[in-house]
Amino acid sequence: MNLILDGHSYKYELESLANMFFHDQKVRVVAQKEMCEGECIYTRSASLPDGKVELQVATRMDGILREETFQGVPDEKDPERFCEYHLCRMLYTQLTEATGILLAWGMLTGVRPVRLIYRYRERGMDDAQIREHLNRDYFVSDEKIDLLLRTANKEKGILDLSRPESFSLYISIPFCPSRCNYCSFVSHSIERAKKLIPEYVTLLIREIQYVAPIVKGLGLRLETVYFGGGTPTAISSDQLEAIIRAIEENFDLSHLREYTVEAGRPDTITIQKLEMLKRRGVTRISINPQTMNDAVLEQIGRRHTTAQTIEAFEMARKAGHQNINMDLIAGLTGDSLESFCRTIDQVIGIGPENITLHTLSVKRSSRLGQHAKEFYLQEHQRVTDMLSYAGQRFQQEAYLPYYLYRQKNTMENLENVGYCKEGMEGYYNVYIMDETHSIIALGAGGVSKLRKPGGTLLHRIFNYKYPYEYIERFETVLQRKNEIARFYEEP
Ligand code: SF4
């Protein structure tokens, strides 16, 4: 689908909005002075003599031409925003009509819609005004507005805990027992990459030893540690313990609020690993079933069963873990609404302190990408219903939403939400999403995001993606970490 820009450059928002309606085809942005003959979207902005602008959107789809023109005087403070908003509004209305798709998030395209709530509150708007504004001006559904307000109420307290010198540490273990068919992370199945693990662990420890004195010299304060991947428990208990010990020995953990290890796949969890994690001071773990339906698990390429999930959870409790997260996914291949609802009920019955609900991400790079259109149309309503059911059940069972983000190319750009029992929030999740403070990421695929106290500028340092690259070019990995000191020391 061609998106024509005539007389303006509001590419980003218009393209993002159009993309939410076209999962089967790429939206291609072209700059030209007229509408084309075939199917396309045409957008135009022109100045008029009396300080007004004329904005126009026309769409031709399935042989039907829709057209709307708007004239107005732009807000002096932000004329660009005025034009962009009205173009997006006209485009949204036309695409909704043309496709029959009503988006629960309306015109909002951003990944962090909770930020809007903070912004509106800073401007003095109360909740009723925010509701009206989002509903009337952005077409956001009541259900999503409610979710946003509740999330903002919880999340704000966590954001306020972060201090100017705070930072969090991310440790990447990019190995998994097998590859799930919806996965687009950089992870290597153990079968293929097993031989790399010992050297990987040795070098990761060296990276820890190299970075710790740098952050100490800068006077930074470690707030949270998060082991992610991949599946951190895919490596042996001894290897995992060696990494945890290196963190203990090299970083000051006296201010630590949270220590999370994403155990992840139930088939990698053993009582030995769970006891070791507890003994070494890990405060929060994640056991991720994704679904409690064995047939769906098989279809998505996860080689574990629901029985193993329950067993892993019981073992974790036995080992003394009192803050357990479980990740679930709405929209998995072959999962029906009924089966999803059973999963939700079953997980609530198990009683983890945190439940994180993701919406399946259909990325062009994943194996499912080519079937995206068919998949999208079939699942559209079903996934919306899944999220509604989960939201209601979590509310009934006193699971509160505390962080929320939207991922591009998820169905309808729907949301991923962390729910928790009162006082059991996962802080790291909030800090990484909000980019509240620096996240220093170690290991293959780790992307450090540096933010100076009080600053808005983000500086990224990339580690090599794949374990073999990380190993082969490890000296460059270390050299790049010198950017941490340079970044903080620059005026
Ligand atoms: S467990 Fe996670 S990281 Fe590993 S293959 Fe599955 S989706 Fe990807």
Instruction: Render 426-464 in DSSP notation, one character per residue.
Output: -HHHHHHHHT-SEEEEESTT-EEEEE-TT---EEEEEPP
- Which residues contact residue 366 at a Cβ distance below 8 angstroms, ignoring those fewer than 6 apart? 181, 182, 183, 184
Q: Which atom of ligand 1 is nearest to the CA of 189?
A: 5
Establish if 249 belongs to a structural domain. Answer: yes
- Say if residue 327 is in the same domain as residue 475: yes
- Say if residue 399 is in the same domain as residue 264: yes
Cα dihedral 252, 258, 263, 269 sign: positive
Give dist(CA 232, CA 466) in Å, integer. Answer: 15
- Say if residue 241 is in the same domain as residue 95: no
Which of 476, 442, 443, 480 has its CA nearest to residue 461? Answer: 480
447-451 and 458-462: which strand pairing?
A: antiparallel
Give dist(CA 86, CA 74) in Å, integer. Answer: 10
Cβ of 180 closer than 6 Å to ligand 1, yes or no, is: yes
Angle at 161 between CA 158 and CA 165, to 5 degrees: 130
Least confident of 9-13, 77-81, 274-278, 370-374: 370-374
Inter-residue contact 326 to 287 (CB < 8 Å): yes
Pocket test for ligand 1, best of 178, 180, 332, 358 (most atoms within 8 A of CB): 180
Q: Which atom of ligand 1 is nearest to the CA of 174?
A: 3
Which of 423, 230, 393, 233 has its CA nearest to residue 323? Answer: 423
Q: Which amino acid residue places its CA nearest to atom 5 of ligand 1?
A: 179
Q: Which atom of ligand 1 is nearest to the CA of 179?
A: 5
Give dist(CA 435, CA 428) in Å, integer. Answer: 10
Cα dihedral 317, 319, 320, 326 sign: negative
- Say if residue 165 is in the same domain as residue 236: yes
Question: Which one of 63, 83, 101 terminates a domain?
Answer: 101
Q: Which atom of ligand 1 is nearest to the CA of 178?
A: 5
What tokens appear for 122 in the block? 């800073």
Our count of domains for the chain comes to 2
pLDDT at 292: 97
CATH of the domain at 382: 3.80.30.20
Query: What pLDDT, in 10s, does the model give residues 395-442?
Result: 999 999 999 999 876 666 789 999 999 999 999 999 999 999 999 999
Q: Which amino acid residue places its CA nearest to atom 8 of ligand 1?
A: 183
Q: Which amino acid residue places its CA nearest to atom 2 of ligand 1?
A: 230
- Say if residue 58 is in the same domain as residue 167: no
Q: What is the DSSP string of 104-134?
A: TTTT---S-THHHHHHHHHTT--HHHHHHHH
- Say if residue 224 is in the same domain as residue 356: yes
Query: What pLDDT, in 10s, does the model give residues 166-191?
Result: 999 999 999 988 888 877 665 566 66
pLDDT at 85: 95
Residues in the chain: 491
Question: Does a cis peptide bond (omega within 30 degrees of 0) precede residue 230?
Answer: yes
pLDDT at 384: 87
Overall average pLDDT of the 84-90 stretch: 96
Give the mean pLDDT of the chain.
91
Question: Which one of 101, 117, 148 terminates a domain?
Answer: 101
Distance 285 CA to ligand 1 centre (A): 16
Q: Which amino acid residue places its CA nearest to atom 3 of ligand 1?
A: 230
Which element (helix H / strand E) includes 264? strand 258-264
Q: What is the pTM of this model?
A: 0.90
Establish if 135 belongs to a structural domain. Answer: no
Which of 435, 428, 429, 465 has its CA nearest to residue 450? Answer: 435
Inter-residue contact 421 to 401 (CB < 8 Å): no
Q: Which atom of ligand 1 is nearest to the CA of 265?
A: 1
Pocket test for ligand 1, best of 183, 298, 362, 465 (most atoms within 8 A of CB): 183
- Say if residue 88 is in the same domain as residue 163: no
Does residue 194 have a pLDDT over 50?
yes
Does residue 378 have a pLDDT over 70?
no
Share of the chain above pLDDT 90, in %: 76
Distance 287 CA to ligand 1 centre (A): 12
Range of the domain at 469: 158-485
Which of 164, 197, 198, 237 has its CA nearest to residue 451? Answer: 164
Query: What pLDDT, in 10s, does the model give residues 459-475?
Result: 999 999 999 999 999 99
Query: What pLDDT, in 10s, does the model give residues 286-302?
Result: 999 999 999 999 998 88
